[in-house]
């Protein structure tokens, strides 16, 4: 796990589980990241964003009273957001396809399923650093372009016909 120097990266962890926060912090320290702020709920995380100015946010989905999804939407679309462009990794045990799409449609930069490993976190961290997608804004969405580049020509039955 080398090739990147993350030592100046500032990370905000938002998770109601002390064990998950501790594990994330241990992994991030192992990657060279020393400046880490923790929040136990989304309200605390949003306040921390205003004071801490993170380069990356890692948030859980389920953290009453407000969900991680609502937190992401507030960061991306809220008028009081300190940085709507901050990369956000959604870390969750909810891995059903409709949930992944919900998180994507809220504006996440990357999705990371629990159980967590150092390798899976590192891969998402690198993906976020290497991400060069433009941000898209419309009345219902602000975040990284949700379309992904697909190489080659798709030859399946649902291929859209292109005008000549």
49 and 82 Cβ atoms separated by less than 8 Å: yes
The verdict on whether omega for the bond into residue 44 sits within 30 degrees of 0, i.e. cis, is no
Residue 44, domain member (yes or no): yes
Residue 108, domain member (yes or no): yes
Domain count, the chain: 1
Q: For residues 40 and 14, give the distance between their C-alpha atoms in angstroms, rounded to a whole number.
A: 6
Residue 4, domain member (yes or no): no
Q: What is the CATH number of the domain that holds 120?
A: 3.40.50.2300
16 and 41 Cβ atoms separated by less than 8 Å: yes
Q: For residues 116 and 98, give the distance between their C-alpha atoms in angstroms, rounded to a whole number.
A: 20
Residue 99, domain member (yes or no): yes
Residue 2, domain member (yes or no): no
Q: For residues 117 and 68, give the distance between their C-alpha atoms in angstroms, rounded to a whole number.
A: 20
Residue 5, domain member (yes or no): no
Q: Structure tokens of 106?
A: 């809220």
Q: What is the pLDDT of residue 15?
A: 95
Residue 150, domain member (yes or no): no
Q: Structure pTM?
A: 0.86
Q: What is the pLDDT of residue 153?
A: 54
Residue 155, domain member (yes or no): no
Q: What is the pLDDT of residue 158?
A: 55
Q: What is the pLDDT of residue 1?
A: 47
**Domain range for 28:** 10-140
Q: For residues 132 and 114, give the distance between their C-alpha atoms in angstroms, rounded to a whole number.
A: 25
Q: What is the pLDDT of residue 64?
A: 82
> Can you tell me which residue has the tokens 């912090």?
25
Q: What is the pLDDT of residue 149?
A: 56
Q: What is the pLDDT along the chain (164 residues), one digit of tens a residue?
A: 457 899 999 999 999 999 999 999 999 999 999 999 999 999 999 999 999 999 999 999 998 888 999 999 999 999 999 999 999 999 999 999 999 999 999 999 999 999 999 999 999 999 999 998 999 998 889 999 977 655 545 555 555 555 54
């Amino acid at each position: 796990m080398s090739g990147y120097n993350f030592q100046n990266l500032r990370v905000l962890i938002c998770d109601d589980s002390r064990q998950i926060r501790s594990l994330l912090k241990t992994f991030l320290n192992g990657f060279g990241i020393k400046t880490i702020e923790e929040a136990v709920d989304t309200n605390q995380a949003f306040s921390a964003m205003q004071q801490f100015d993170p380069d990356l946010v890692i948030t859980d989905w389920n953290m009453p009273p407000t969900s991680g999804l609502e937190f992401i939407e507030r960061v991306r679309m809220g008028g009081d957001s300190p940085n709507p462009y901050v990369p956000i990794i959604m870390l969750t045990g909810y891995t059903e396809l409709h949930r992944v799409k919900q998180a994507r449609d809220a504006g996440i930069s990357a999705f990371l399923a629990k159980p967590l490993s150092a390798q899976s976190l590192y891969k998402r961290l690198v993906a976020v650093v290497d991400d060069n997608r433009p941000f898209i804004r419309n009345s219902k969405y602000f975040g990284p372009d949700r379309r992904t580049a697909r190489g080659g020509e798709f030859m399946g039955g649902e291929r859209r016909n292109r005008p000549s």
